[in-house]
Amino acid sequence: MSEKKFIMGNEVMGRAARAAGAKALYGYPITPSSEILHFWSGEACGEQGRKEGLVFRQAEDETGAGFMLIGGVLAGARSFTATAGPGHVLMQDAFSMAEAMRIPVVAFITQRGGPSTSTVIYSQSEVNLTCFGGNGNGFRVVYSPSNLQELFDYGIKIFNTAWKYRFPTFLLADGYLAKMMGEVEVYDPAEKGIKMVPTEAYMLEKDRKRPLSEVVPTPEIDIREDGGRQYECLRNCLNLEEETYAVNMEIKEAFDKAAPEIVEHEDYGPQDAKTLVVAHGLVSSAVRAAVDALAEGQDKIRLFRPITLRPFPEEALRQAARGAERIIIAESAVNQLARFVKESLYGHCDTALEEYFRPSMGILPKEIIDLVTKA
Amino acid sequence: MKEPFKIIASGEGGQGVLSIAKIIAYAAWQQGFHTIYVPYFSTEKRGGVSVAFAQIWDKPIPFPKFHKADLWVALSQRAVDRIYDYLHDDTVTIVNSFLVKDVTRIKKWKPYEIDATTIAKEQLGKPRTFNMVIMGAMLKFVPGLSQEGFAKALEKTFKDKYERDASLRELNEQAFNIGHDLVK
C-alpha cells in the first residue's frame, strides 16, 4: 500500500528494488552506498525474505560482486548491486561483459568525490564512468534522479528498462541523495498500474519466451548438440576482428532502436526565457528553485535536465537551445555533463556555452541566481 | 517562509549531534513541513567533528547542503573552532558550556551558553539526557514547530526505548522542559 515515509536515500533505493520484485543483491559495501546493502541484508534475513528466497551476497570485492551479479541475471533472477567511487571502478570489468552480452544488470551508483578514493561525500564525477566505463562503447542506460522521490520511482523503473531492452541499466545518484533523509511515497508498482517486465534465464532453460538470438549478438551464441539435445552456449571471447565488429554493430543497432523509447528529459520554466541552464541530478533541483525564484523578473531562466544521460535527449536539447541567448552548463564535475551537451549541440547552435564546473561541490540555487543576474 | 529554516548541529562523533538534527527534522515533517536532513560524513568513525544539516520549509527543499545556518548548535570546543564559518549575521547560536569554554570566536553572536552536561548529571541524574536539554533550547527558535508535535515525534523515535523503560519518557520531558525554559 502507498505510504509516505521519512527515510534515507539509500533505504529508498533498497525499498525500490524490493518493490520492483528484485530477488538478489550481490555487492561489497562502500560509502556512501552501504545502507542499500544493510537494508537488503535485513530484508533477506527477515522472515518474509527467507520465505521468498531473497539472496544477499557480500563478495570478496567489487570485481567478484559484479560477476556474481551477472550470474544471478543469467539464472533469470531480477538482480542488482550498489556501489560508488573506487568500487564502481572495479565493477567496470563485469559491466563491460554485461554490455557485450546484453545482460540486464542493474546498479545503484552513489557518486562520491573523485578521482580515486578522494572523499566519501558527494560529486557528479562518475558520469563518464557510469555511461562509458569499461572497454565498450557506452551502450548502457543511465538515469539521473534529482530527488528522493525519483530515487524510488526510477529505482523501480530501471529494472523494467533493463529487462525490456536488455542493456545494463544504472541509477546514478550521489552521496547527498544517498545519505539525506526526507519524505518519500513508497508504493507497490501494481497500485500505479506499473507492470513489472518478466525476467527469464539466459542459461539453464531450454524454452525461452524470448530467444537468445533476439538479444545476444550473433557471434556470441554457439549452438551445440549433444545426445540429441541442443545447447546454447554463450561466449564473450571472440576469435576474429570481424566477429567483434559484428557484435558491436548489433549492439549499436539495438541501442539506437531502443533509444527513442527510453530517452527522457525535463524542460522546466518559462519557454520565453533567454537563458537556458543545463543540469542533471541533484543540481537540477537547485536550478529548478532558481527558475522559480527568477520567474517574475527580467532574468527569467529555463532548466533543461536530461533524466537519461544514456541515451541522451539530444533532439529535445537542440529544440530547447533554439532561441537561447545564454546557455549555462552547471555540474559538480568537470566537463562530464558538458561533453554530452557539446556533442548534442555541435552544428545545431551558435550560442556560446558557459561552463559552471564545481567538482565535488554542491551547487546551491543562489549560485545559479548570481550567475544569471550578475553577468 | 521566504527561505528554508536552516539548522546545524555540531560536536564530537558519538555525542548524538546527528540524532539532534534528525529528530528535529523528523518532528517538523510530522507537523506537515517539508524537511531534509543530511549528515556530514567522512572516512573517520570516531574522533572527528560531527556535523548535521537540517532544513525546514513549507515548500520542497531545493538542496540538502547550505552555507549559512539560522540556528547553530555546538557541543564541543572543536565544533566552535571549525564550524563557525556557517554563521550569518543573525544566526542564533547555542553551546554546551560544559564542553565549550572559549566562546571568543563567536562572541558577537551572543551565544546561549547552556551547561547541559551538569544539568543532565546533577538535576536529572542521567548524563545522556544533555541532548534533550539542548533540543529543548533549540525548539524555542524553530518556527512553526509546536512542543506537542515535538513530543509526538519523540514518542515515535523512542518507541522501543520507552517500551523497555517508561521512566525514560518522563526524564526526557523534564530535560526538554529545563532546556526550553532556560532560553528567555
Instruction: Please report, for the domain that includes residue B89, its CATH number.
Output: 3.40.920.10
For residue B35, give the chain A residue with the closest CA. Answer: A182
AA identity, residue B121: K
Q: What is the tally of structural domains in chain A?
A: 2
What residues have CB less than 8 Å from B127, skipping those under 6 apart? B117, B120, B121
Containing structural domain, residue A41: 3-192
Enumerate the residues of chain B whose CB falls inside 8 A of the CB of residue A365.
62-63
Torsion of CA A330, A332, A337, A338, to 10 degrees: 50
Give how many domains chain B has, as a whole number. 1
Exposed/middle/buried for residue A237 (C-beta within 10 Å: 0-12, 13-18, 19+): exposed
Same domain, A47 and A182: yes
CB contact under 8 A, A362 and B64: yes
Counting Cβ atoms within 10 Å, is residue A40 exposed (0-12), middle (13-18) or buried (19+)? buried
Residue after which a domain boundary falls, among A130, A164, A192: A192
Name the residue among A170, A137, A240 with its Cα closest to residue A13.
A170
Q: Among A160, A192, A224, where does a domain finish?
A: A192
Q: Please say if the pLDDT value at position B25 is more than 70.
A: yes
Residues A86 and A185 in one domain: yes
CA separation for the pair A267, A54 (Å, rounded): 39
- With CA atoms as reference, report the closest residue to B78 among B11, B7, B9: B11
At which residue does the C-alpha cell 534529482 appear?
A146
Q: What's the longest Cα–Cα distance across chain A?
A: 78
Identify the bridge partners of residue B52 per DSSP, sorted by sequence position. B9, B39
Residue B83's pLDDT is 83
Q: Note whether B66 and A363 are within 8 A (CB).
A: no
Q: How many Cβ pairs within 8 Å bridge chains A and B?
A: 62
A234 within a domain of the structure (yes/no) = no
Say yes or no to pLDDT of B137 above 70: yes
What's the whole-number mean pLDDT along residues B48-75? 94
Structure confidence at residue B82 as a pLDDT band (50, 70, 90):
confident
Are A306 and A259 contacting, i.e. CB atoms less than 8 angstroms apart?
A: no
Q: Would A343 be classed as within a structural domain?
A: yes
pTM, to two decimals: 0.96
Report the residue of chain B nearest A289, measured CA to CA: B62
pLDDT digit string (tens) for chain A, length 375 residues:
899 999 999 999 999 999 999 999 999 999 999 999 999 999 999 999 999 999 999 999 999 999 999 999 999 999 999 999 999 999 999 999 999 999 999 999 999 999 999 999 999 999 999 999 999 999 999 999 999 999 999 999 999 999 999 999 999 999 999 999 999 999 999 999 999 999 999 876 567 888 888 999 999 998 888 887 777 889 999 999 999 999 999 999 999 999 999 999 999 999 999 999 999 999 999 999 999 999 999 999 999 999 999 999 999 999 999 989 999 999 999 999 999 999 999 999 999 999 999 999 999 999 999 999 986
Is residue A168 located within the same domain as residue A286? no
A106-111 and A169-174 beta bridge pairing: parallel
Q: Which residues of B touch A175 (CB under 8 A)?
A: 41
Within this chain, do residues A277 and A165 fall inside the same structural domain, yes or no? no
Asked if the structure places residue A325 within a domain, the reply is yes
Amino acid A99 reads: E
Q: Rounded CA gap, A38 and B126, in Å?
A: 32
**What are the E-state strand segments in chain A?**
3-8, 24-27, 55-58, 79-83, 106-111, 141-143, 169-174, 181-186, 221-226, 229-234, 265-268, 275-278, 301-306, 308-310, 326-331, 353-357
**A143 and A11 fall within a common domain:** yes
- Is residue A308 domain-shared with residue A186, that is, in the same domain? no
Report how far residue A262's alpha carbon sits from residue A312's, in angstroms, rounded to the nearest whole number: 10
CA distance B115 to chain A (A): 30
Contacts of A147 in chain B (CB under 8 A): 60
Query: For residues A215 and A59, what is the distance between their CA atoms, to the nearest angstrom?
Result: 28
Q: How many residues does chain B have?
A: 184
Question: Domain span at residue B49?
Answer: 5-182
DSSP string, A17-43: HHHTT--EEEE---TTTHHHHHHHHHH
CATH number of the domain at A119, please: 3.40.50.970
Distance CA B161, CA B164 (A): 5
Q: Enumerate the H helices of chain B as residue ranges.
A: 17-30, 77-83, 116-118, 130-139, 147-157, 159-164, 167-182
Is residue A224 included in any domain, yes or no?
no
Residues on chain A touching B26 (C-beta within 8 angstroms): 6, 181
Residue A342: name the closest of A324, A310, A317 by CA: A317
- The mean pLDDT of B160-173, rounded to a whole number, is 93
Residue A339: give its domain's CATH number. Answer: 3.40.50.920
Taking CA atoms, what residue in A is nearest to B36? A182
Contacts of B43 in chain A (CB under 8 A): 31, 120
Domain termination residue (choose one: A192, A217, A235): A192
Do B43 and A120 lie within an 8 Å CB cutoff?
yes
User: Is A359 a member of any domain?
Assistant: yes
pLDDT at A226: 83
Q: What SS3 state is found at A367?
A: helix
In-domain check, residue A229: no
Give the chain B residue nearest A180 (alpha carbons).
B38
